């Protein structure tokens, strides 16, 4: 099935949930950025998280930015998404070698290192909402769980996963977020804890051909009668354009633009998100100069 995000609530309205299959989106992002196995896993987790958090925003013009500032070899990462299931992202150092823990599992924590995870919600107001937490766990999922509790006061559990083959290529990518409503009774909390403790790795289950809808119903929220309220497709989409980058070239200033013209140079811009290149010839640079 195609990538998609689901949103719902349990029958008695004690728990709301999100889940995403981001496999094709992660594969595509990995290809255009030539990601290694390690950075594919990190990017896939960020993509899944970004898609789910953005799906909770109200307006189609709202924008979610999930930013990872860290000291590890990946050098940081960023994704932006809207509530229509569209997302884009990049990692500063996309081709770091595979890092493995002593259990021969890709060592995400070592690749990220110490740092900060920041969530920015641009809701069209004068100032965007900005919340952040220090990276305590370095897994992204547990750090976001901590973020929801500390910054938004919402008891949550976040699960994110990316499964790769022996070559580091993406096989599965997905995630879930479950959040307790204020009146959730103790028996519901206990049931969720039991379900999560019994649940294996998310992407291993996806690789067994379980759909995210089945995973939420048969595993994560088993016995709580989850009801899916909305499903939308998810995909990588970059809205860059030659016109948008032209505005950025104006920031170079007249001196730099005049120098490019005198030396008969073409100017090239590259989008960080999709790696698309835009070239500006002498006539186009002259036009930019007249607009400064």
- For 47-99, the DSSP string reads HHHHHHHHHT-SSTT-EEEEEEEESSTT--EEEEE-TTSEEEEEESSTTPPP-
Query: What's the CATH class of domain 242-291?
Result: alpha beta
Fold exhibited by the domain 4-236: Hsp33 domain (3.55.30)
Does residue 50 register a pLDDT over 70?
yes
CB 4 within 8 A of CB 20: yes
Band the pLDDT of 292: cuts 50, 70, 90. Answer: confident
Q: Which residue has the tokens 């990601």?
A: 35
Confidence at residue 87, expressed as pLDDT on a 0 to 100 scale: 98
pLDDT higher than threshold 80 for residue 99: no
pLDDT at 251: 86
Burial code (b: 16+ CB inside 10 Å, e: under 16) for 17-42 equals bbbbbbbbbbbbbbebbebbbbbbbb
Within the chain, which residue ranges are assigned CATH 3.55.30.10? 4-236
Question: Where is 131: in which H helix or E strand?
Answer: strand 129-134
In this predicted structure, the answer to whether residue 97 has a pLDDT above a threshold of 80 is no
Nearest partner of 162 among 29, 273, 57, judged by Cα: 29
- Numbered ranges of CATH 3.90.1280.10 in the chain: 242-291
What pLDDT digit, counting tens, does each position of 10-45 carry? 999 999 999 999 999 999 999 999 999 999 999 999
The larger pLDDT score, comparing residue 250 to residue 236, is at 236
Q: Which residues contact 242 (CB under 8 A, 6 or more apart)?
A: 278, 280
Q: Look-up: residue for tokens 């998404």?
A: 81
Residue 290 has pLDDT above 90, yes or no: no
How far is Cα 90 from Cα 30, in angstroms, rounded to an integer?
9
Q: Which two tokens stand for residue 49?
A: 């998280």
Quick one: which H or E segment has residue 118?
strand 115-122
126 class by beta-carbon count within 10 Å (0-12 exposed, 13-18 middle, 19+ buried): exposed
CA distances from 141 to 148, 189, 249, 252, 283 (A): 11, 19, 38, 39, 49
pLDDT score recorded for residue 248: 86
Q: What is the mean pLDDT of residues 227-242?
A: 97
pLDDT at 100: 64
Show the DSSP H helices in 97-140 as ranges.
108-112
């Amino acid at each position: 099935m195609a990538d998609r995000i689901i949103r719902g609530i349990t029958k008695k309205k004690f728990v709301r949930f999100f889940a995403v299959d981001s496999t094709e989106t992660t594969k595509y992002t990995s290809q255009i950025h030539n990601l290694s196995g390690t950075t594919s896993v990190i990017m896939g987790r960020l993509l899944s998280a970004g898609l789910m958090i953005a799906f909770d925003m109200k307006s189609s013009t709202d924008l979610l930015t999930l930013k990872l500032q860290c000291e590890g070899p990946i050098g940081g990462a960023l994704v932006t998404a809207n509530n229509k299931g569209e997302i884009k992202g990049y990692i500063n150092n996309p081709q770091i070698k595979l890092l493995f823990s002593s259990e021969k599992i890709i060592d995400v924590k070592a690749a990220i290192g110490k740092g900060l995870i920041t969530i920015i919600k641009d809701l069209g107001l004068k100032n965007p909402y900005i919340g952040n937490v220090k990276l305590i766990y370095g897994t992204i999922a547990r750090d976001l769980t901590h973020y929801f509790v500390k910054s938004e006061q919402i008891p949550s559990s976040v699960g994110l996963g990316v499964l790769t083959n022996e070559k580091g290529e993406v096989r599965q990518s997905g995630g879930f977020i479950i959040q307790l409503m204020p009146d959730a009774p103790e028996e519901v909390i206990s049931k969720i804890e039991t379900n999560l403790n019994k649940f294996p790795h998310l992407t291993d289950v996806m690789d067994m051909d379980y759909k995210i809808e089945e995973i939420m119903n048969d595993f994560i929220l088993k016995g709580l009668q989850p009801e899916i309220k909305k499903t939308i497709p998810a995909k990588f989409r970059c809205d860059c354009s030659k016109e948008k980058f032209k505005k950025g070239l104006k920031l170079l200033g007249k001196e730099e633009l005049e120098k490019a013209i005198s030396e008969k140079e073409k100017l090239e811009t590259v989008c960080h998100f999709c790696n698309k290149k835009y070239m500006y010839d002498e006539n186009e640079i002259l036009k930019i100069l007249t607009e400064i």
